[in-house]
Amino acid sequence: MINAILFRKTFEAVGGFSDDLPLMEDVDIVRRLRAFGRIVMAEGRMLTSARRWEENGVWANSLGNVSRLYRYFRGASPQMLAKDYPDIR
């Protein structure tokens, strides 16, 4: 329980996820969290949808993600990158 409280306080201290980022919000928050110290893996499990991976396949998703990360680090805006990351919900 203490870890959950600490995680929440740190999340709030860095301003949480940016509301104006349609994509790369996870990369953005990790960059901001680094100012607070070393990043470690939390215990427990997280469940997410496999829809995109099932629909597009592992290779296509992996290559697309690497491509988007590369372009993001080279200065592409998350808004532009989101255009080639369709919502499949």
Alpha helical stretches, state H, the chain: 2-13, 25-33, 51-56, 58-73, 78-82
**The pLDDT value given to residue 75:** 97
pLDDT at res. 5: 80
Rounded to an integer, what distance in angstroms lies between the CA atom of residue 3 and that of residue 42?
A: 9
What is the per-residue pLDDT for 83? 92
Stronger pLDDT, 77 or 88, i.e. the higher one:
77
* Spatial contact of 77 and 21, defined as CB atoms under 8 Å apart: no
Token readout for 8 is: 């929440």
pLDDT surpasses 60 at 57: yes
Handedness of CA 53, 58, 60, 64 (dihedral sign): positive
Residue 45, pLDDT above cutoff 90: no
pLDDT reported for residue 2? 60
